Structure 1
Amino acid sequence: MGEIPEGSKPKYNFLGKSGLKVSNICLGTMTFGKMEQGPPRQLDENESHHILTRYANYGGNFLDTADMYGLGKSESIVGTWLER
């Protein structure tokens, strides 16, 4: 994939009064992890890791996860990516 133009990088804002500074673009992880009944397009761990790496290289640091996404597989995939 090509380089990301500098002008398209995310901006950062504080998340309420938490002191956390997060990107203004949040990456949803609902399609991470394959399961029998789920979204029509589901991503395996390698595909998900590629997207997470690309997002981080872009400057993103704000992920939307939930234990119901892939029955917990989504959060496990994010966890294995963070351990790398």
Structure 2
Amino acid sequence: MCNFYILFSPSLEKYYYGHTCDQLSERIRKHNSNHKGYTGKTDDWELSYNEEYPTKTKAQNRELQVKNWKNRKRAEALIKDSGI
């Protein structure tokens, strides 16, 4: 199984959209580790949303679909409707 996920950083007040076929908890741990890149700026990323897909391609396509919305309110509505 692969996942499309949305993380939120309270300190940055920003969302991060991603996909992975690794264990989701391990992927979030990596985002919160000290590294170069967008999520390396802080270590308070929290899972806000998650969808499971049978293939990497489907998870990646969903990530691109949500990113192409370019609309924070629409993403927040998706999160709110999920009840996570």
TM-score under structure 1 length normalisation:
0.29
Larger radius of gyration: 1
Which is bigger in relative contact order (C-alpha 8 A, separation at least 6)?
2
Higher helix share: 2
Higher strand share: 2
TM-score under structure 2 length normalisation:
0.29
